[in-house]
Amino acid sequence: MGAKIAKPKPGADAYRLDEQVGFVLRQVSQRHTAIFAERIGCDLTAMQWAVLAKLREIGATSQNQLGRATAMDVATVKGVVDRLRGRGLVDIDSDPDDARRRVVALTDEGMGLVDAHAAAALAISDETLAPLTAAERKTFLALLLKLR
Amino acid sequence: MGAKIAKPKPGADAYRLDEQVGFVLRQVSQRHTAIFAERIGCDLTAMQWAVLAKLREIGATSQNQLGRATAMDVATVKGVVDRLRGRGLVDIDSDPDDARRRVVALTDEGMGLVDAHAAAALAISDETLAPLTAAERKTFLALLLKLR
DNA sequence: GCCGGACCATTTGTACACTAACGATCTTGC
DNA sequence: GCAAGATCGTTAGTGTACAAATGGTCCGGC
């Protein structure tokens, strides 16, 4: 019995890295990052753009709130905000009502930059989804949102 | 004309960060990373696991090939391999046929660890996709692969 | 046999991403 | 009022990621 067919190990041989969600997810993220870097046109990373875009949406906020709104760790947000501040795209002020808080706000230059590149940002999302049809994109996004 | 309806800016106001693929993609990746860390059970990162699992699949290879097989930069693969080597899970030898190459191979311990945790790795993929039905998972994975 | 171009590995520098620990500050319960 | 606990920001440490520069090694053509 079972002379010719090798017994498959329960696990090791059934596991193919290339079929695992996490692995493919990372590859798709990498592709998106590459598209972003090539297309954004103002030497910003996706994270930096996320912070600027969020500030444009919701206005000035504390670093903590900003971190939650952009799904970033507080420690991470600090680095990103520091770099944006170094480029004069955001300002940091103390909150008169709460001495713990450091309120981050877009500068005029930052505001202008967001508006100037919003179309490029949309094009990036579009190119990332380019391999899919319109119907597939809708399906994909809906499912992706469920996995958040 | 257009007295009551404000003219939407072409870009800025139409752009909602939370609906952009790249942003959601990152959130899903974060969730997967958290699930991975909690479930893998042997203090490995997803990258480190990817290298070990790939070596189990294809056998000993050069760092360069390993990088391509795991979708990692050469510089990144070096760091990952160094850490795995520090834990005794892989060995690095010179290729007798090509002095440029540094051949990475699983140690017995590394091989044992992969086999011991393959089931957990599958469970991680499963939990990541848990919010979806079986049919949705199939659809999602098929679409995700197209975006690679 | 050697020489230019391809390939491989390493190093350096920048930018995330998360954890843990810390001090400062606010708020609530009492 | 004030102590306990929650919140906010910062720092330090580890682990990806990618680009660019460097240097060693192989191979094909001559």
**pLDDT digit string, tens, across residues A70-108:** 999 899 999 999 999 999 999 999 888 888 889 999 999
Q: Which residue has the higher pLDDT, A134 or A1?
A: A134
Q: Which residues contact B140 (CB under 8 A, 6 or more apart)?
A: A140, A143, A144, A147, B129, B132
CB–CB of A36 and B57 under 8 A?
Answer: no
Nucleotide with minimal C1' distance from the CA of B104 is: C9
Question: Best of A17, A47, A51, A117 to disrupt the B interface by mutation (most B CBs within 10 Å)?
Answer: A17
Question: Best of A7, A13, A15 to disrupt the B interface by mutation (most B CBs within 10 Å)?
Answer: A15
Residues B12 and B93: beta-carbon distance below 8 Å: no
Exposed/middle/buried for residue B130 (C-beta within 10 Å: 0-12, 13-18, 19+) = exposed
Residue-wise pLDDT tens for chain B (148 aa)? 444 444 444 444 678 899 999 999 999 999 999 999 988 888 899 999 999 999 999 999 999 999 999 999 899 999 999 999 999 999 998 888 888 889 999 999 999 999 999 999 999 999 999 999 999 999 999 999 999 8
Residues forming a β-bridge with A103: A62, A93
Of A12, A115, A139, the CB nearest to B115: A12
d(CA A133, CA A139): 10
Exposed/middle/buried for residue A71 (C-beta within 10 Å: 0-12, 13-18, 19+) = buried
Minimal C-alpha gap between B70 and chain A (Å): 8
Q: Which domains does chain A have, with CATH numbers?
A: 25-146 (1.10.10.10)
d(CA B75, CA B110): 22
- Å: A123 CA to D7 C1': 39
Residues B119 and A11: beta-carbon distance below 8 Å: yes
Residues B134 and A143: beta-carbon distance below 8 Å: no
Beta strands at A98-106 and B90-95: parallel, antiparallel or unpaired: unpaired
User: Residue A134 has which token pair?
Assistant: 């319109």
Nucleotide with minimal C1' distance from the CA of A65 is: D8
CB–CB of B14 and A118 under 8 A?
Answer: yes
Of B108, B66, B114, residue with least CA distance to A9 = B114
Cite residues whose beta carbon is less than 7 Å from strand D: A 26, 30, 33-34, 62-65, 74-75, 78, 98, 100-103; B 45-48, 71-76, 79-80, 83, 98-100
Helix (H) or strand (E) holding A77: helix A74-86
d(CA A15, CA A32): 26
Q: How many CB atoms lie within 10 A of CB A52?
A: 25
Nucleotide with minimal C1' distance from the CA of A34 is: D18
Residue-level pLDDT at A13: 62
